[in-house]
Copies of this chain bind each other. A is one copy, B any other.
Amino acid sequence: MVAKNPPMGWNSWDCYGAAVTEEQVRANAEYMAKYLKDYGWEYVVVDIQWYQPTAGSHEYEPFSDLCMDKYGRLLPAVNRFPSSKGGKGFAPLARYIHSLGLKFGIHIMRGMPRMAAHKNVLIKDSKYTARQVAESNSICMWNPDMYGLRCEECEEGARAYYKSIFELYASWGVDFIKVDDIAREYPKAKREIEIISEELRNCGRDMVLSLSPGPAPLDRAEHLKNYANMWRITDDFWDDWSLLLAMFERAEKWCTHSGPGHWPDADMLPVGALRQCTEKDGWTRFTRDEEKTMMSLWCIMRSPLMVGAELNKNDASTLELLTKKEIIDITKTTHCAHQLYRTDDDIAWIALAKDGKSVYVALFNISDKKRTISFVPEDYDISATKAVELWTGKKIADTASIKQSIAKHGAAVIRFEL
């Protein structure tokens, strides 16, 4: 099964925007192999615009000349990804990442390049031209490069195009595809999601299918579970407390839809060195306690975990955050998580170990000052004799009435042994 547990990895967007280079990707992969792999981190994902030679920031450049083969399939820009020279695409880079014991992912946009339609290329192994398959009035509202496909009117042509690109990506050794401009585009993208999913599953190589951007509509949960491995439940998430606080509400709504092979995705973890493409000293604006809250929530809700940091600039604290085994393992060992309650000051979540031997409770202090939060396990059907707080590793003596002092915007995660 693809994505039996929530995927974990690194994505280039938060630190490099549209401008990441092969050198940077390799450096981050090497760091991951060395310091993070043992904790479950495995995917290295190149985000948007890898086919654009002139990309330089988080902005998009309208009408730019993209690298494309004669069938209208985008290729890495050789000036940014030198190993792709000679039409080799991402194969050499993927091979290198695999050699590190990791997996390789790329970002794509729904549809085909506008350039392909205006040039009217032939679609590989098909009788269709790009102009027959592109939908001239289906564009992305925030990116200027693509046309959507005529999935209803010319399904055969649309399938041919998606087949042609997944065949190419499989030949490169890609393990993870993040498809953008699609997850919140219901109802019109419904058919396109189905075709993408089916062609991907038929391409001969296992790849995780991740859908962006959010918020995906909650009332399409069953469709998403059937056709995707993960999907964004939120618009782009950044290092801002108000966005983090807002995630609790989204998490509450989506939590019952998590499970093997299908994961509601709370988006990337903006920790450590960020925005390197435009800010020399870019660093997360989250406090250490906010980072703990984020990790605690993402893990207990079993969100995929994709780090946004330039890993080689990690400080000790960031590395510690990403290697907190007891917290990270919650994504693998629990299920049936949900919010227990919420007041103006506190939020509590519960998750249960799959093996029935323990119960996890996360307590969040969402107020603006340090507070002691009380929790009576019996009030929530928990009957335990042993308990430990996982961030500190401290045993809790009185398991009948728990009191945790938690910093402003901070969290505690308690494991109860049944």
Chain A residues packing against B (C-beta within 8 Å)? 1, 62-63, 114-115, 117-118, 120, 131, 134, 136-137, 139-142, 144, 222, 225, 252, 255-256, 259-261, 335-336, 338-343, 350, 352-359, 378-383, 418
Contact = CB atoms under 8 A, between A and B. Distances in A.
A261 B379 contact: yes
Contacts of A379: 1, 259-261
Contacts of A382: 354
Contacts of A383: 354-355
A381 B136 contact: no
Given A341-B225, A382-B354, A256 B255 contact: yes
B260 A380 contact: yes
A147 to B, nearest CB: 9
B63 A120 contact: yes
A131 B63 contact: yes
Contacts of A140: 137
**Interface SS, A side:** mixed
Contacts of A350: 336
Contacts of A62: 117, 131, 134, 136
Nearest to A333: B381
B352 A336 contact: yes
A336 B255 CA distance: 11
Contacts of A353: 356
Contact of A418 (B63, B114, B355): B355
A96 B173 CA distance: 67
Contacts of A118: 63, 114-115, 118
A222 B137 contact: no
A332 to B, nearest CB: 10
Nearest to A1: B379
Given A259-B340, A353-B356, A356-B352, A335 B137 contact: no
